[in-house]
Amino acid sequence: MSGSRGPAARLCSHLSAQALHYLLFAYRGQQLLRRRPTLGGPRRPAFGVAGDDVALTIDDGPHPRWTPPTLDLLARHGVRATFFLIGDRVREHPDLARQVLAAGHLIGNHSMSHPQPFAALPRHELRSEIERTQRVIEDATGVTPRLFRAPGGNWSPGVLRTTAELGLAPVDWTVNPSDWRSPGVPRITRTLSRTRPGQIILCHDGGGDRSQTVAALAEVLPRLTGRGLRFVTVPDDR
């Protein structure tokens, strides 16, 4: 049965997923250097948005400590973002998911439990991770997500195929300050300050102490809007 793979098969899947992770890391580097990142499609992740806009995406929430100050900060600067929510966190904090939606932000699917490497999961587990999150978010907010981001950005042909079968558009990123590592506010600020038109920014409001992310965004958002950049949500009609 598909759910009873042996150790050798699991190891092979894990190594394949890790290899894809490093290939995608290199591809993201190429996207960062492009004048216009790839917009993606039903079976190709979006690395950018059209025109001179930029998109801020926020992963791994909702979190009772870090989502509220993030929402307050975005409201102060008139910035709309795309929140990729984890199903387990939504089930624990449905009120926060509703707050994200009520504040005018877009909600995307970021799997039920954020397993990694995501692409190493058997096909039925991939589908379950995505489908269960859809149901949890729908129950909490009344909204059906139309965007999906693979945990860790760990895409594969199987992940993309499953995403497409479920009617979701895959979304990656261009600008990654690695804020999940807590590298320090100056480093996060420097990376985010280099954002150019058309790029998708990756940040986090869950998965750990996100005080550095909030502090860096407080510096960067007025800086980027002062340059004339307009923040939009990731298009969900591809």
Q: How far apart are CA 149 and CA 51, in angstroms?
A: 22
Query: How is residue 79 annotated by DSSP?
Result: -
Token output for 44: 């190709």
59 is catalytic: yes
Token output for 12: 């092979």
Q: Which of 59, 60, 172, 205 is catalytic?
A: 59
CA 19 to chain centre: 20
Q: Which of 63, 172, 204, 205 is catalytic?
A: 204
Write down the number of H helices and E strands in the chain: 8, 7
77 is catalytic: no
**24: three-class secondary structure by DSSP:** helix
Token output for 94: 């449905």
Phi/psi at 163 (nearest 5 deg)? -55, -45
Q: Cβ(224)–Cβ(80) under 8 Å?
A: no
Q: How far apart are CA 36 and CA 198, in angstroms?
A: 6
Q: Cβ(228)–Cβ(51) under 8 Å?
A: no
Query: Which are the catalytic amino acids?
Result: 59, 204
